[in-house]
Structure 1
């Protein structure tokens, strides 16, 4: 047949094989030979049977009665086909009908075919197929060559039988080319790699191929990437823990065993839990800050009382830091002496359960006995631990890789995320599959903080499901606090006197006759000379000072009798603008290439600071030399200072130190009775 055109008969002949089984009228026979358009058969006993025409044989082979070995799934093919597959199969059948009868797919069954495609008129097969391709190209508006290829493919698929007219995945045996041990090997691979870092999909597949070469070298045909991930998904459904991140896997495996020794806390303040979390709400910064993006996320620190589940402390900062942790603790204590505000819930006025940043009970203040925290560097800082020691609060560090020790605060973060953050504009979630509906950064940090305050009020007044499960009744954290206070009592907290200063960061500096230095900045006041002249005031010549990171125009110190003093920057004037550590860092970068003496450097810094503030109103309203953390800390310390009734002695005041100290000692006894009366009035307002 060399040199002859490939006709339909020649294509069918190419499909025949000696010994191929064929079923005619329910009886199975086997192909023996074929020639001149006829096929000779033999039966199972090798006896010759009646020959049959080639066309009849090929149609019988393509019928459902003669499924080839790869099409054993044809019996329920119609039930398993998708809508798309059914549409493709129906179009194929209509195209074959077009080739056999000349009736186009867009024609009805009773319509007559066109003369140029009618098999009864045009007997030359190639000419008729070319005409069919032209009509398909005109109707579907496609190139002629594309239509010609479509006709040729339809003929080949019809010749191959039903298995070729649909997607091969519907008819092929899926396990034909896959080793039976592959599913077990995939599971073993995942178990062996349980603590490995999470890999990209393609990387994980290549890692499996490499692992397979060393584990099962006898497997010559590994699964495809698609099959591999299908098997991986099956394993993950049975063992979901294998799907978690590597860090979580390590933590779960290395976490200490549960002791089952539950704490039964019956007193508010017996155990507080503190932790920090990154907000899932993207914020917008309306001010232009050097080197800072306009969108960012803040860190929230919260404190919760274990006995009542009440949030008693909060703070906000741009980055997690020891100052942010201490601010949460400081405001929790500050709120115990602040009775200036109330909260309205459903039209009813209550004494605000916690006020400011953060807020806690003012009617029944109870300081904590113990604070449980994790082992992060912010909570292990000397600043934080020393503040706890000063307040008489024991610190308990949670066990490593065991979040159950702080279960209440961890669960409150989940409530905060699902009940508050997901409803805020700019919610971005913890991963890409948790994005909110409105991810555009819209809120500023103070707007978010105000909304968080309102939500926290509702949280402490609403029914708490954890308390309901524990007590068997509907009760809010605020009501639970009030009930336990009735059983255990509360502590009378005196008003603050310069207590806010003690919550500021500290540094120790050498006392010199010209003052003290911090970051090459000079501070001086008469109290420095007094401390130098007082015998035994400072044994090593150093003294502890407090500073506000957001306002370095002055620092503070306490004398041996506890009186607070202000120590100003030596170049401070009435017009000196507020500056911070961040301002010093920015300024240091601007003059870092110069060689200036200390006084020249300070003069230059003052000129620059005045120049920055002397710009036009538009620029000054749009720029800020404070970092976001400085700005948040400044607001927090201003609120703390507003609660304080102490007096700081200014540096320019004329005074006699001995006379002041004698007068202060004489007034202690006289003022103590008045202070107690004030406390009685403070806690009797809501009685």
Structure 2
């Protein structure tokens, strides 16, 4: 008596006038792959009752999809086929190369043994065949993977060929889309449909064999993979910033002493102030930071940055910051950890100075601002024997310390003041100008007090010595170097 018709993983079947290969069966769900490698899934009863359905191949060489095991090491491919044969016998009672009309072995007959009994029998058989213990749990785990993924489930994942990240899309389409995304760095933001139309137009102009344009759904998935992290359809400002960043770290400069390398920059200050003429407006913050100690040696607030303001930073960096009326006594230099007695012998003005280091810059890094390109600024640098390094255009990564320091001034100081505007119009509140605003001179005094009281005592993770736990503050970081190398930090 002939056995009822069954479908097994690896069988080649025909329905709807197309040939498919059964790559896996999970319950009543069967996974299929056509001759082009495209996968699909459908219910097993629906498949077997569809019009024109028939099993057209059951030989082992014919039941695997063409090229399914291509790219695997020879030993791994043979091992996958070995497991494929045993899993097929566990599920259906017959190995995949069984001839028509062959009856299953008694221990694997689905009519008399349940699935657990067949798994236990296969475990005993493989333990005897391989000479190593194989548990029923291993067979059960293999059987589940086989039902879910077919013969590819028997392949070691470390040896399995990786699916193309970009799918089956023609490489020329991918290259055209990449080129359009690169060109969008400085352009306005467009939608995905814009790129779909542009790519379609470019594909039609290609010479040679015709290139198939992917469907809209496939193109959308491709676009999302290529666009990840690029903000092609997002903020134009963010996109330009990402396109401008370096591909990696060029080099790390090792700074050994205060003043060896300092950075200067200016930025709009996110606080409204009342100017001398009564006008309410924002001002600009010009600051200088020492890379070795992260000390803010000078910071100036001005309506607009001019060359004299840039030169003023150099003078403030080497001039003792006077104590302001109303400042706490703890902010005096004599009460700080700085080497006050040694410095007092150099400059008597330090007796009434605030606890801010005095550092003569040996080298400063500036950008292409007009104030830093002026003759006044360069003349001031020449007077102090300071070398000036101009960063390339649109490369804030060449002076990252001052960029981050000015950003910290907004988050740690400016947001606590009346008239705080936020860093963009999206973060600005209503009627900010009606708040009780400070004058420019009052705000300058508050900034200097904040630098002396807060910033100079704030721990930085980058100021970390090998032995102590946690980062050190700019003040404690500069103290040992001042005391051990007095000639490395000159004062006036």
Larger gyration radius, structure 1 or structure 2: 1
TM-score normalised over the length of structure 2 = 0.50
Tell me which of the two structures has the higher relative contact order, counting C-alpha pairs closer than 8 angstroms and 6 or more residues apart: 2
TM-score normalised over the length of structure 1 = 0.37
